[in-house]
Amino acid sequence: MTEKYMKPDIDTKRIPLFIDCDTGVDDAMALLCAAKMNSFDLIGVAAVAGNVGLENTLPNTLNVLALAGRTDVPVYKGADKPLARPLVTAPHVHGLNGLGGVELDPSPRKAESEPAWDGLYNAAIQYENLVLVAVGPLTNVAKAFIKYRDLPKRLSKIVIMGGAAVGGNRTPSAEFNVITDPEAADVVFNSGIPVVMCGLDVTLKAYLTEAELDELAELGTPQAIFSYQSQQNALRYELSLGLPGICLHDPAALFFAEDESMFTARKAGIRVETRGLVTSGKTVTDLDSDKKMPYREHRVVLDIDREAFRGRLFALMRKYCIP
Ligand code: RIB
Ligand code: CA
């Protein structure tokens, strides 16, 4: 396969990156990619309950970073449940352990002593141009924003995987990360800083077909084989829904943070429904409304050049082929 979009991985000035995730199979893919991005200095990762419980997302995060050869990256333990409602997980997609049943070697590194919200704030103090990519329920981020009122404006950019201008995947009107903790998402969207929402509008288009996932495995590295094996259950589930392949929701958000050129995004107001009986967890945007919301500095990511996305993903995963 010719790589139409081989991005030159010149070692530019690295931008400090903090990832908050509920390490399931697509979070793991994002961590493997982030670990190899020359444009970012991955300075911290926090685990939150979401796809599966924190008792799995925390070790999954540590162990995937070890698989990526990145035990240099500190990992923080976050929230084990949403701010104000019970945790509802997604083992039918990610498997009971969150990694599609694949057991990784345990990382030699342990989680840091301070909790995720303190780890994120300390990172924002240390790195003035910190980029936050949050690809799980926003519980940790909201707790950090509530505890440290000056935190939002200390971030240079926040990109989330979550929400949807149209549709939903856990209910007809809500996407998993947002409906798992809508109160947390409401805090983040109301924090006074622009949020980039990489929701289902774009992430359903950021997929690998079954054949492309097979091709990924053919790279033959432990990281590629893990990516292939861990995503088999999710692939089968998504194919059963009539989707064209496995949607790599979290890598899409990470790739937006790195290079917006393969995406289309529009400015909008975004609010979260936290009380609806049918619409709870819906991210309401004013994209297609003549009545505009007062705050319209958020961006909704709507489209992606899938070829560029696939090319970037393979280019990053090929880096594990180099000893
Ligand atoms: O709706 C998809 C999102 O929910 C992804 O981040 C997936 O990992 C789950 O957290
Ligand atoms: Ca996730």
Whole-number CA gyration radius for the chain: 18
Q: Which of 19, 21, 22 to mutate to test the pocket of ligand 1 (most atoms within 8 A of CB)?
A: 22
d(CA 68, CA 101): 18
pLDDT of 323 reads: 83
Which numbered ligand comes closest to the C-alpha of 246? 1
d(CA 66, CA 87): 27
pLDDT of 26 reads: 98
Which of 169, 144, 158, 131 has the alpha carbon at shortest distance from 283? 169
249 CA closest ligand 1 atom index: 5
Residue 76 tokens, joined: 């923080």
- pLDDT of 212-243, one tens digit each? 999 999 999 999 999 999 999 999 999 999 99
Q: Which of 33, 56, 161 to mutate to test the pocket of ligand 1 (most atoms within 8 A of CB)?
A: 161
> When comparing pLDDT for 8 and 291, which is higher?
291
How many C-beta atoms surround the C-beta of residue 105 within 10 A? 9
Alpha helices in the chain (DSSP H): 25-34, 54-67, 91-94, 116-126, 139-147, 151-154, 176-180, 182-189, 200-203, 210-217, 222-230, 232-240, 249-258, 306-318
- Helix (H) / strand (E) element for 168: namely none
Which numbered ligand comes closest to the C-alpha of 231? 1
- pLDDT of 236-262, one tens digit each? 999 999 999 999 999 999 999 999 999
Separation of CA 47 and ligand 2 centre (Å): 10
Local confidence band at 300 (pLDDT 50, 70, 90 cut-offs): very high
Local confidence band at 22 (pLDDT 50, 70, 90 cut-offs): very high
- Residues 284 and 270: beta-carbon distance below 8 Å: yes
- pLDDT of 178-189, one tens digit each? 999 999 999 999
- pLDDT of 75-123, one tens digit each? 999 999 999 999 999 999 999 999 999 999 999 999 999 999 999 999 9
22 CA closest ligand 1 atom index: 10
Residues lining ligand 1, CB < 6 A? 22, 24, 26-27, 50-51, 135-136, 161, 169, 175-177, 249-250
Average per-residue pLDDT for the chain: 96
Helices (H) and strands (E) in the chain, counts: 14, 12
pLDDT of 7 reads: 39
Length of the chain: 323
Please give the share of the chain, as a percent, with pLDDT higher than 70. 96
Local confidence band at 41 (pLDDT 50, 70, 90 cut-offs): very high
Asked whether residue 3 carries a pLDDT value surpassing 50, the answer given is no
* Residue 45 phi, psi (nearest 5): -135, 140
pTM across the whole model: 0.96
Separation of CA 21 and ligand 1 centre (Å): 9
Please give the share of the chain, as a percent, with pLDDT higher than 90. 95
CATH number of 14-321: 3.90.245.10
d(CA 162, CA 245): 19
Separation of CA 84 and ligand 1 centre (Å): 19
Residue extents of the structural domains in the chain: 14-321
25 CA closest ligand 1 atom index: 8
pLDDT of 102 reads: 98
pLDDT of 293 reads: 98
pLDDT of 78 reads: 99
203 CA closest ligand 1 atom index: 2
Q: Which of 33, 51, 283 to mutate to test the pocket of ligand 1 (most atoms within 8 A of CB)?
A: 51
Average pLDDT over residues 146-165: 98
Separation of CA 52 and ligand 2 centre (Å): 10
Q: Annotated active-site positions, please?
A: 249
CA dist list (Å): 128 to 122, 199, 277: 11, 27, 41
